[in-house]
Structure formats: C-alpha cells, structure tokens
Amino acid sequence: MTATTPIRWGILGPGSIAQSFAGGVAASRTGKLVAIGARNPAKPGLAESFPGARILDGYDALLADPDIDAIYISIPHPGHAQWAIKAAEAGKHVLCEKPLALTAFEADAMMHAARKAGT
C-alpha cells in the first residue's frame, strides 16, 4: 500500500452501522470496500446492502483474505477485543466501533496485539 493506493477495507459484521461506514468508504478517494465477513452470508438483501463488495462466509474468512488491508469491526461490543486481536494477528489494521472494549484490560490487550503485529 502506498500513499496513492486506496486502503482496501473489510467489514466484520454487516449491521446498519456497517452500512453507514460503507457509504463513507464509497465516497472516499482513499478507501475501497472489498469484502464483508458475515455469519449468515446468504441473508436476503445482504449483497445489495454492500454493492461491489464480496460477501464472505464468516469472520475468519475475512481476516484470511489477502486483498484486505484494514478491518472495520462492527459487531456487538462483547466481541470487539477478541476480533480486534485476531485481526491484528492476521496483519490487518483495525478500526473498531465504540466502545473500543468492555474493560481497560481488553483495550490494553488490543493495543499490545496491534503493536506486536506492527499494524
């Protein structure tokens, strides 16, 4: 990725807030939405909610995708720390919906995982 290459985004969790984020990425010159990780990829209307993005079967599939630079975490709060750490370990940059974590310990673990991975 260079200064002129758009950030290739993946969204973990296809809820309504993720749709708002996707709209922002679509309007950006510095980002491109590549894929959505969904627990129910066959959900009616899912592909139409994220035009141009691939719909992947599960969150792990999204993290394993080599065409993604950064992950937007838009899942229920209790999963933020777990999936942010997994994303960092997969070499992805992370943008996490608020609240970042449920505890200071979780937030610290997320920060350390990102630093260790260099993301």
Q: pLDDT for 19-47, tens place per residue?
A: 999 999 999 999 999 999 999 999 999 99
Phi-psi region of 42 (alpha: psi -120 to 50; beta: other; left: phi over 0): alpha
Could you give the residue numbers annotated as active site?
A: 98
- Distance in angstroms (rounded) separating the CA atoms of residues 36 and 72: 10
The mean predicted confidence, pLDDT, of the chain is: 95
Helix (H) or strand (E) segment spanning residue 13:
none
Domains annotated for the chain, with CATH where assigned, are 8-40+52-117 (3.40.50.720)
Helix (H) or strand (E) segment spanning residue 20:
helix 16-26
Q: What value does the mean pLDDT take over residues 75-84?
A: 97
